[in-house]
A and B are shown apart, each in its own frame.
Chain A
Amino acid sequence: MYKNLKVYKWIINLSLTIVCLIALFPLISLIISSFRPSSELIRRGITFNVNISEFSLSNYNYIFVQAPEYWQWYMNSLIISGLTIVLSLFFSSIVGYALAVYNFKGRNLIFLFVLFIIMVPFEILMLPLYQLMVDLQLINTYTSIMLPLIVAPIAVFFFRQYALGLPKELMDAARIDGCTEYGIFFRIMMPLMLPSFAAMAILQGLTSWNNFLWPLLVVRSNDMFTLPIGLASLLTPYGNNYDILIAGSVMTVIPIVILFIFFQRYFVAGLTTGGVKG
């Protein structure tokens, strides 16, 4: 029995290590590439034969010193993602919560709508949505970039699953104490749902940070670009700007890694309670 355990221990830890190395490999190679001169990268690609002596910080020097637009894009992405997280957590949680704890007419229909949003291919909505933004005069504003993310169907779905697991007795007790329905949500249930908020903060932050197609349709000027758009604009058929692209990509990943490490405990805990009632 104990011998077996030791073998299992080895198998498990070894296979996890291998999988994690594979998972991290592209990023590690990206980080290594960011220290190589871009001409060298073009010449040899990502390769195992890396020459340490050629490493330099010139790419970073370039984005920190010579590329003011990069930091403008960074700020845009930070502001937009931050606002999106706050707003979408609020709006998605109240919907998911209502779908879970109240019995009301149209509940199932609304849930079907949630699934429908996940299903519809965004590409066919591009022209009508663009026209709508033009009519609402929202082109080239943060608002238009964030709007489609604010009520996020997957987040609604998740909050619903999570709220299903909340103890309903607490609600009744609160009502007897004279608490209003809104009070029940904001003062009693919301604190109980905090882990799920942490989880969705990560997922929403991630979605917004990497969002590409939609912001591209509605931004009109370079100084409103978000990071993914800015980085993509460096890839052109008339020459790619690798110096800023590779180093810029590394800097792009860092804030969400921090966000993740910060919230990840809650993330697992949050999914736990929500999952059971799936």
Chain B
Amino acid sequence: MKKLLFLSLVAFLIVVLAACGGDGDDTAGGDADEVETVGTDLEDATDLTFWTFAGTHADFFASAAERWNEEYPDRAIAFTAETYPFDQMHNNLLLALQSGSGAPDLVDIEIARFPNFLQGDVQLEPLNDLIEGELDNFITERLDIYGKDGNYYGAPTHLGATVVYYNTEIMDEAGVDIDSIVTWDDYIEAGKQVVETTGIPMTTIADGWYGIWPYITQRHSDFFDENGELTLDNDINIETLEFINQMVNEDGIAEMSPGGNYHSEEFYGFMNDGGQASLVIPMFYMKDFTTYMEDLEGKIEIRPMPIWDESDARTVGMGGTGTAVTNQSENVDLAKDFLYFAKLSEEGNIHLWTELGFDPPRWDVWDAPEVREDNIYYQFFHDDIFDILLDIRDDVASVNITEHTPDVLDEIDTNIMHNAIREQSQTPEEALREAADRVRSVMD
């Protein structure tokens, strides 16, 4: 009897285990969050799943899916967006693409991770047929960063034009007219005046790529050249890092940013309390201002980056997230058409601005009435934001991304900025040369 009891217990446990799979599926259909699921109630709708690491991007695509279903009822989609933690979303995607199973139809891939997905046999679908007819309308540099061998694999989320956000309250107190700042020398002079009068640093420098990449790119240099050769330790880069070092450690107009980057709890608090007079960062940071730094409303003015000399670019496209279609999608064409609709079309680009506050990578919408309509960003900042962009549109520099970009970014995070600027244990030249050697050893 007891053996029977034991065996039936084991059997019971196996049934319980097997039943759990069913449990999961039930809940999946049941109380899914309505915000992130669109069109599941439509008949004949095709399932599309989307992974992202930013809740706002999930909302953006969900609202695009609603518009799509109204416009193309015959090609309706049942859209599901899943928001994962940043690191883990990329890891899961890597494992799913590697093992050939489990990847979504559409996925957001952050720029620093994108090169990982362009190695080996690329498991993403080229988007060339969607874009090629309209290349003139794009700031094409922003398409190149998600490309390889002439194929475009990612739909950009924003131009990421780097600008300077000035805190006018502090600048006024110091008696500096921000429109008089044209060159970086002007910027340093203004910085000295700010520090002298107010005791507040002109800016802060991040320990990561924000502290170097925009500056070298502005001077048409980069970590890699167009051919993928490492240029991390070239003369312009050394000179530029010396310039950063001068701002922080000689002129004393800049400090290292609290928390080490511009997205930490500490930094938001610091900036919000008027901790620094200006911040060099791409346009997409507007959203952070409106979300975390409410006290600065009406006090921030946006201006183009200062330059070293006339040949420098007026702005640089930085950061970014490319949305890609994976080859595991069962409806590649539908996924691509939807991606075009949501993010690459004129209408999609307008929504990038109105919903996310991002500067659209298509410049032909910068004049569109929908873009010029009043919204929270115009209220928080000022209303000529896109005039500034249109003014510098022909002069946007962008970055070259290779499969070893993640190695360089890691060197910047761990060694270059720390040793050369924060600790000063190495000169900028030493730090860059040593880091370049390490990256070269990986590249061989």
- Does B bind A? yes
Q: Which of A197-205, A232-240, A258-266 contacts B (4 or more CB under 8 A)?
A: A232-240
Q: Which residues of chain A from 214 to 255 have any CB-CB distance to chain B below 8 Å in the complex? A: 216-217, 220-224, 229, 232-242
> Is A110 an interface residue, CB under 8 A from the partner?
no
> Is B390 an interface residue, CB under 8 A from the partner?
no
A134 touches B21 (CB 8 A): no
Question: Which residues of A lie under 8 Å from residue B383 when comparing CB positions?
Answer: none
A220 touches B102 (CB 8 A): yes
A233 touches B84 (CB 8 A): yes
Number of interface residues of B (CB under 8 A): 52
> Is B119 an interface residue, CB under 8 A from the partner?
no
A223 touches B28 (CB 8 A): yes
Q: List 9 A-B contacts (CB under 8 A).
A: A43-B272, A79-B23, A87-B17, A141-B20, A182-B6, A221-B28, A222-B33, A222-B83, A239-B56
A232 touches B269 (CB 8 A): no
Q: Which residues of chain B from 21 to 44 have any CB-CB distance to chain A below 8 Å in the complex? A: 21, 23-25, 27-28, 30-33, 36
Question: Which residues of A lie under 8 Å from residue B288 when comparing CB positions?
Answer: 239
With contact pairs A127-B95, A217-B92, A222-B82 given, residues A238 and B102 touching in the complex (Cβ less than 8 Å): no
> Is A167 an interface residue, CB under 8 A from the partner?
no
> Is B363 an interface residue, CB under 8 A from the partner?
no
**With A and B bound together, what is the CA distance between A229 and B55 in angstroms?**
14
**With A and B bound together, what is the CA distance between A45 and B264 in angstroms?**
11
Q: Which residues of chain A from 182 to 196 have any CB-CB distance to chain B below 8 Å in the complex? A: 182-183, 186
> Is A138 an interface residue, CB under 8 A from the partner?
yes
A69 touches B85 (CB 8 A): no
Minimal beta-carbon separation of B207 from chain A (angstroms): 15
Minimal beta-carbon separation of B265 from chain A (angstroms): 5
> Is A131 an interface residue, CB under 8 A from the partner?
yes
Most buried by B among A127, A229, A233: A233
Question: Which residues of B lie under 8 Å from residue A182 when comparing CB positions?
Answer: 2-3, 5-6
Q: Which residues of chain B from 90 to 115 have any CB-CB distance to chain A below 8 Å in the complex? A: 91-92, 95, 98-99, 101-102, 110
Question: Which residues of B lie under 8 Å from residue A146 when comparing CB positions?
Answer: 20
Question: Which residues of A lie under 8 Å from residue B56 when comparing CB positions?
Answer: 238-239
B92 touches A236 (CB 8 A): no
> Is A143 an interface residue, CB under 8 A from the partner?
yes
Choose among B2, B5, B31, B86 the residue that contacts A236 (Cβ–Cβ < 8 A).
B86
Minimal beta-carbon separation of B135 from chain A (angstroms): 28
> Is A39 an interface residue, CB under 8 A from the partner?
yes
B33 touches A233 (CB 8 A): no
Question: Which residues of B lie under 8 Å from residue A130 when comparing CB positions?
Answer: 95, 99, 102
Question: Which residues of B lie under 8 Å from residue A232 when comparing CB positions?
Answer: 85, 88
A143 touches B17 (CB 8 A): yes
**With A and B bound together, what is the CA distance between A182 and B5 in angstroms?**
9
Question: Which residues of B lie under 8 Å from residue A41 when comparing CB positions?
Answer: 265
> Is B441 an interface residue, CB under 8 A from the partner?
no
Choose among B13, B95, B110, B269 the residue that contacts A217 (Cβ–Cβ < 8 A).
B95
